[in-house]
Amino acid sequence: MTNPPSADPARVGSGLRIGVLALQGDFREHLRAAEATGAQGVAVRRPEELDGLDGLIIPGGESTTIDKLARAFDLADPLRKYIAEGLPVYGSCAGMILLASDIADPATDLSGAPQQTFGGLDITVRRNAFGRQRESFETDLDFKGLDFSATESGVEPVHAVFIRGPWVERVGPDVEVLAQVEPADPGQASHAVPLPGAARIVAVRSGQLLATSFHPEVTGEKRVHDLFIRMIRGEA
């Protein structure tokens, strides 16, 4: 569905219903971030709560747990259907993993079956790529697509927090890379995983799908959610 531009640029989400998958993880923070844009935030725990949404956010958390709960609550197949039919979705951290078509290192259950994703993004991700909880770090990123936030001095970098975050190891031809962590960044001093000679992709977009390895909802960085809303409205 095509949504009209917001009459109030400061409340770009006015008139929109944005769902947040609320099975596990930091869904409350994403609900607050969505509502800060002026949108109505909807906690999604049942299939019928997907009806009538203008967009959906899949939060950070445990991708394996969200996968299992989505199947237990009969949400996995409806989510795949809505995504395939063009529902705009933003996935943060675990949400990026769940939007990926492939996982380089999937977790397995007791029977040996690999974890599942909802798909939609033609990417391969690696879970916990930057290390475990103690290797969490912050850094500033050049992030494409935020021209709407430009000032006289240009577009400010995005301050990103990585907590057991994935990175993207492969992108398909229709996937746009929005941000990368450069191997020489001083903020990477605590990385458990060496980054020799290659930047690591941490934000991507394909059509109406957006994903980041990091958590803008925990730092007060509003522009990533604003970008998602503008994507829904056809303004980005």
Binding site per annotation, positions for L-glutamine: 61-63, 127, 163-164
Structure tokens given for 32: 């607050």
- Angle (nearest 5°) at CA 99 between 98 and 105: 55
Is 215 marked active-site? yes
d(CA 167, CA 61): 15
Which among 210, 91, 199, 213 is positioned nearest to 161, based on CA atoms? 213
Of 30, 191, 215, 225, the active-site residue reads 215
Sign of CA dihedral 178, 81, 31, 230: positive
Beta carbons of 135 and 192 less than 8 angstroms apart: yes
Query: Which residues, 6+ apart, have CB-to-CB distance to 138 below 8 Å?
Result: 159, 160, 161, 162, 187
Q: Of these residues, 93, 169, 191, 221, which one is catalytic?
A: 93
Length, in residues, of the chain: 236
Is 217 a residue of the active site? yes
The strand pair at 176-181 and 167-171 is best described as: unpaired
State the DSSP string of 7-18: S-GGGTTTT-EE
Q: Which residues are annotated as a binding site?
A: 61-63, 127, 163-164
Point out the catalytic residue in the list 30, 169, 217, 221. 217
The set of catalytic residues is: 93, 215, 217
